Structure 1
């Protein structure tokens, strides 16, 4: 199985120019330095401090439209439901809602967030292996478009809750096709050993059971085989072909199948690796499911928002150790968890134009958290940098801010949305007072 790209260097690490060349939202200005769209990142740092997440509205729009165009060109009746777990900032959700996106959520909290941003529950899919009874009830009261059931036990729970409410729950059965997506072990979801979905061989009988239960309207089959899939379309085709076979079997038994949920997982190039296109995914869907004559659904997350974001950070100091040079930043693993959690590789660009033409030498890029795992890159070629110099972590729009914590009592970073020449704060930086605001000391400790 393929693993995430290592944070350690290789001889093929892309240059600063290489990284910029394939990221159209970013450019280097001779005086203002690194720009996102038309806004200098140095200006954002001056106004809002660092670390700060910065998102490109036009990148979100461009990528959503490219995906929709690919599905339409393939002749598919398709709806796109953005996976809010990738980035649930209200401004990001509002941009995607304005493009016509529905939502894919995995908690009642995400349902509240997407509804607050204007995405109705009637355009939202509720996935996840551990929906609590109160979450199911809330989703049904809100008029959820689809519940993706992931176990026989959950189906019985949904039936009891819906029947007690006097409503019919629209339920799709999430099937685990036992297909290897060849992605990182921690983000694969379609193998038999994963916690997600119903075993393929058990699904037909369970679907028939759903049709017989009160309070449930079986509406289709769903799958999701993993995240950050870059190894071509073979895994998608294998999974969707199995779904097509199953849907034919269900229809042969007289069971209704209204739609099929294809999941998400389309990967992005964090470095310079090849990545599949929306056109390739649309082709895989058409070749396997297109003959069924029913609508399909997609649940992209990272593909839409990953390239739309950067994490802006400042150099605290440059430390020369006995064997290594360290660039110590004010961003840390509590801000961007992916390198520590997955050994993930992120491009890192200096913001200053002078730094892009300065001599380079290897440096370990680290944060201030008291963990050796607080390392973003090892041996990365970087210029000499001074305190307050700025760097930008690329492709940080997905699984960045949403995975942040306050470890080491570090407040959550600010978030800014850029739209052309405009920039607006869309989440203010958490204060130290707010870190303590919800804590209480028992009276007996006074």
Structure 2
């Protein structure tokens, strides 16, 4: 089992300047403080309040183009389908759609979001181990590019639905290559004990069965071995080598395979750790699958959306405990759950220009939720900060807002897109009226009310 990532690493934390230098869409202005592209975060806080998610359109574009260039540079015919689960913002999806990216979805909601953002059905892949009949019917109605089948039972279910509609669904068989991606245990997906896909040894027989089912057109094989993979390309090479052997076995049996879905999972450096670049992933694909001369598909999420996003929060108060200082923010684990769920590390920068250069001392950064787990960082070097001062959590664009909740009856935060010197609120802060909407008190309880 992969070891958790500690909230307080043993190695010294990178300095504010080092964190800033590694993120070109951020800068520090001596008067306006921390900037995203050409917009001061203080201006966004004044207009939208806090906590607020902020995304850089420029950074999204640069990362999409860098991945595309890496694939083309290795001579690969590749389609990129952004993993919507990482960030479901319609504005983010629209930026990526304009860059030619499709979508990888895992629910009806994500499928509808992708379509609402302008991504055509022909550029959408539907993954996931528990697709419902309703979701499969919608996928067929939208004539999406591909449905990734994850079990014999799902194949039979989809066949019956498609046949009843008089339609044919294009499908790929997701296989589990039993490869350890050496990532966090909660986000590994390619080992034999994981719930995803079918065992690769069982794949030839099931693929042949799918080819004979009414309403299904098998077009390829797929895999996905995990998320936040930073330990090099060995796991990818091993998984893709097994896929290549499977494709050759299917061809030998006279079965059609038109492309290979390589999944996603490429990690990012949250701190200052080394992380593989897209060129390395393209090289692994070329080395393992190049001999097939087939188009490939990729489904990146975190690598595209993580660095371009941050969570902007305000200091509620600074509290001196018996032996430690607490910096209490208006953001909480219901907003950014990754530290509580995965022991994940996020860089935290002061937004104010004076705070940025002030002396620092260890502080525990916490939120107001009634859980000890509502802790973002322990012993983090930060200046003394007064109520209302702003901080920014870095690299929060993936699995940040998408995993947020209303725990403790806290409304969902606003979202903002920055594009050059422009910014716009792209999701309003949830109102308390909206938070309560849909709740009902049964009539018989109303009758008993005093």
Matches within 5 A, 1:367-406: 367-406=367-406
| Aligned residue in 2 for 1:216 | 216
Write the distance in 1 (CA, Å) between the matches of 2:262 and 2:350. 39
User: Post-superposition, which runs of at least 4 consecutive aligned residues in structure 1 deviate over 3 A?
Assistant: 1-4
Structure 1 pair 161–66 and aligned structure 2 pair: CA distance change class (3 A): same
Equivalences for 1:233-252 in 2 at 5 Å?
233-252=233-252
Structure 1 partner of 2:434? 434
What is the TM-score normalised by the length of structure 1? 0.99
What corresponds to 1:146 in structure 2? 146
Per-residue deviation, 1:11 = 3.4
Matches of 1:56 and 1:288 in 2, distance apart? 34
Aligned to 1:319: 319
Q: Is the 8 A contact 1:9 1:379 kept in 2?
A: no
Q: Which residue of structure 1 aligns with residue 3 of structure 2?
A: 3
Look up the match of 1:186.
186
Corresponding residue for residue 350 of structure 1 = 350
Deviation at 1:253, TM superposition (A): 0.5
Report the Cα distance in structure 2 between the residues aligned to 1:33 and 1:7, rounded to whole angstroms.
27
Mapped to 2, the partners of 1:5 and 1:290 lie a distance apart of: 35
Aligned-residue offset at 1:407: 0.6
Q: Match of 1:414?
A: 414
Aligned to 2:91: 91
1:355-402 deviations in Å (ceiling 9; x for gaps): 122111100000000000000000001100110000000000000001
**How does 1:277-288 map onto structure 2 within 5 Å?**
277-288=277-288
Alpha-carbon shift at residue 2 of structure 1 (Å): 3.9
Shift of 1:315: 0.3
Q: Secondary structure at the match of 2:147?
A: strand
Distance in structure 2 (CA, Å) of the matches to 1:247 and 1:349: 48
Mapped contact 1:270–1:345 kept (Cα < 8 A): yes
Aligned-partner SS, 2:217? strand
Shift of 1:433: 1.1
Aligned to 2:266: 266
Q: Give the corresponding residue for 1:126.
A: 126
Equivalent-residue separation in structure 1 for 2:51 and 2:333 (angstroms): 12
Aligned-residue RMSD, C-alpha: 0.7
Alpha-carbon shift at residue 10 of structure 1 (Å): 2.7
Confirm whether residue 30 of structure 1 aligns to residue 30 of structure 2. Answer: yes
CA distance in 1, matches of 2:133, 2:435: 30
Counterpart-to-counterpart distance in 1, 2:359 and 2:99: 44
User: How far is 1:9 from its partner?
Assistant: 4.1
Q: Secondary structure of the equivalent of 2:60?
A: helix
- The alpha-carbon deviation at position 421 of structure 1 amounts to 0.4
| Separation in 2, partners of 1:192, 1:223 | 13
Q: Distance in 1 between matches of 2:128 and 2:179?
A: 19
1:215 to partner: Cα distance? 0.9
Q: Which secondary structure does the structure 1 equivalent of 2:221 belong to?
A: strand
CA distance in 2, matches of 1:289, 1:444: 64
CA deviations over 1:93-131 (Å, ceiling 9, x no partner): 000000000000001111111000000111100000000
- 5+ residue gaps, structure 1, are none
Query: Separation in 2 of the partners of 1:110 and 1:438?
Result: 22
CA distance in structure 2 between the aligned counterparts of 1:84 and 1:154, rounded to whole angstroms? 22
Kept after mapping to 2: 8 A contact 1:145/1:170? yes
1:11, 1:187 → 2: CA distance? 24
2:310 alignment partner in structure 1: 310
Q: Could you tell me how far 1:174 is from its partner in structure 2? A: 0.1
Q: How many residues align?
A: 446
- Per-residue CA distance 1:322-357 (angstroms, 9 max, x = gap): 011000000000000000000000000000111122
Q: Which shifted more, 329-338 or 210-219?
A: 210-219
2:165 matches 1:165: yes
1:159, CA displacement in angstroms?
0.7
Gaps of 5+ in 2: none
Q: Please tell me whether the aligned partners of residues 332 and 369 of structure 1 are also in contact (alpha carbons under 8 angstroms).
A: yes
Deviation by residue 1:188-241 (Cα, 9 ceiling, x = unmatched): 000000000000110110000001111110101000000000000000000000
TM-score by length of 2: 0.98
Question: Matched residues in 1 for 2:194 and 2:368: separation?
Answer: 35
SS of the aligned residue for 1:307 comes to coil
Match of 1:366 in 2: 366
What SS does the aligned partner of 2:43 have? helix
Alpha carbons 1:9, 1:378 under 8 Å: kept: no
> 2:209 & 2:29 partners in 1: Cα distance?
62
**Is the CA contact (8 Å cut-off) linking 1:9 and 1:380 kept in structure 2?**
no
Give the superposition deviation at 1:442: 1.1
Shift of 1:4: 4.5
Mean Cα displacement is larger for which, 408-417 or 8-17?
8-17
Cα distance, 1:53 vs structure 2: 0.3
Q: CA separation in 1, counterparts of 2:272 and 2:323? A: 29
